[in-house]
Chains A and B, each alone.
Chain A
């Protein structure tokens, strides 16, 4: 789809300020190097925006969202006031930590279809060097806006129907994996009034059940062991934004164990979905961590507390001979068949 309307707004931080700075904007001509650069950004956004997001319902339960309303208004009438309203929302959610930014609101329309890209280039400092008549002029400049900076953000919406299609989109947020979520939260949660398409409970359950089912179905003891170990490690990722693919990479699972988990998803692309790990949800679905001994002994404990519950001593590492000890009060006893 052709880029048909290009507007740009300078965004200063304005969150929690009684007197937020005014937002200035302009429509850009459909010619020249800047237009060509933005056209490339617009065309590549389908490949680059890979993080599925969705608008959230109003607190009153109405089918309404403040960021979505502004986007609908702009698509219907791509005027300077409607573009500025989007930019002012970004200003009002931007803190001093995020510094200055340049927002491009790029719109393409074709018959009933539309494609809207919001793209925030963060400001940086730089040095400009120019050869002039055999000499070199070097100058420090502020307010250089760079797309390849680590804090570049974008959001893409496209479709033919506001009712069906303008409830979800795709984003880029390179700060997503930062441990301090504040910086990342501001683009998706605050400015876009959105969340990950897959919510915390959905994604966590999907992952926990896939791990559990994979460990139940595999006959290979080492794969089973890998999967139990992975279950225990998940506790270290509580409240972090991850995908199943990320997790499998971080656990360095063998191809067999990885394949076993992926085969338990409804389809493999679900492993790309980003969600926030909900530890309570994970534990409620994950298999109990267990170790079976050759003498018939079976040790079971919640994966997040297995190492606290059982102390393991190595007797003979080559023969894989270990001693496990634990102590506690009996709260349930299954004695049927005991001689």
Chain B
């Protein structure tokens, strides 16, 4: 059995015995957290949580950086084995939601992901690495397979839509992207950014004062 086979079999066990039940519970936990705050919940479209599939884990675990493996201990170093996403309607909803999350679930990392240059359009969103709440990591789950952290993304509807399509089409392309492909991907990102910006403006102009 190769090291990769051992890693895959270990992750497959983790996936079914721990990650999937944890992801299901996490989705309920976050929904419940938002339901406590009606003001924050009313402009949230969906909350989803998922366990990283063995295929996706293996792909990430195999990445290299400067010719060397990026992860020497992928089971402990890859922190998004459980991931959740909160999709909000408008840009102005993202920060209040992020604050609510940080106050209620301790973070170890918070990132505002935006393109490097003001001339670029691409992936955007607020990402957190958070401690998994103890309430959902119950003692009957095998301790060795339970991660300590999960990743949470807070996105707008348009950031979410763009990220989903981009992930499907461009993130793992069968061949390398041509210049025209890259320009098309950037164009759709710019469209999504513009739609978010305008909807946010419209909302602040049209929404009744008590809904702001």
Contact = CB atoms under 8 A, between A and B. Distances in A.
A195 B77 CA distance: 23
A285 B36 contact: yes
Interface stretch (A54-62, A213-221, A318-326): A54-62
B52 to A, nearest CB: 15
Residue among B108, B110, B138 with most chain A CB within 10 A: B108
Given A54-B131, A284-B36, A285-B36, A161 B106 contact: no
Interface in A243-270: 265-267, 269-270
A16 interface: no
A165 interface: yes
A167 interface: yes
B111 interface: yes
Contacts of A54: 106, 131
A202 interface: yes
Interface in A196-220: 197-199, 201-202, 205-206
Nearest to B25: A266
A206 B148 CA distance: 20
B191 interface: no
Contact of B129 (A55, A63, A266, A273): A63
A163 interface: yes
Query: B106, B133, B136: which has the most chain A beta carbons within 10 Å?
Result: B106
Nearest to A112: B73
Nearest to A68: B108
Interface in A43-94: 54-57, 61-63
A252 to B, nearest CB: 26
A62 B109 contact: yes
A160 B76 contact: yes
B178 to A, nearest CB: 36
Contact of A206 (B36, B135, B139, B147): B135
Interface residues of A, number: 30
Interface residues of B, number: 25
A15 to B, nearest CB: 26
A266 B136 contact: yes
Interface of B: 36, 73, 76-77, 79, 103-111, 129, 131, 133-136, 138-139, 147-149
Those 6 A-B pairs whose CB atoms lie nearest each other, nearest first: A61-B110, A161-B76, A164-B76, A63-B109, A266-B135, A163-B77
A197 B106 CA distance: 8
Nearest to A266: B135
B108 A63 contact: yes
A202 B111 CA distance: 23
A8 interface: no
Contacts of B73: 161, 163
Contacts of B107: 57, 61
A270 B135 CA distance: 8
A308 B73 CA distance: 59
Nearest to B147: A164
A160 B148 CA distance: 13
B28 to A, nearest CB: 11
Given A160-B76, A266-B135, A195 B147 contact: no
Max chain B CB contacts within 10 Å: which of A163, A168, A206?
A163
Contacts of A61: 107, 109-111
Contacts of A202: 104-105, 133, 135
B184 to A, nearest CB: 32
Contacts of B136: 266
Interface string A168-200: 100000000000000000000000000101110
Contacts of A198: 134
A253 B135 CA distance: 23
B108 A55 contact: yes
A49 to B, nearest CB: 17
Contacts of A284: 36
A72 to B, nearest CB: 14
Given A163-B79, A165-B148, A167-B148, A266 B138 contact: yes
Contacts of B131: 54, 167-168, 197
A199 B79 CA distance: 21
Contacts of B76: 160-161, 163-165
Contacts of B149: 164, 167
A169 to B, nearest CB: 12
10 contacts: A57-B109, A61-B111, A161-B73, A163-B77, A164-B147, A167-B148, A199-B106, A201-B103, A202-B105, A284-B36
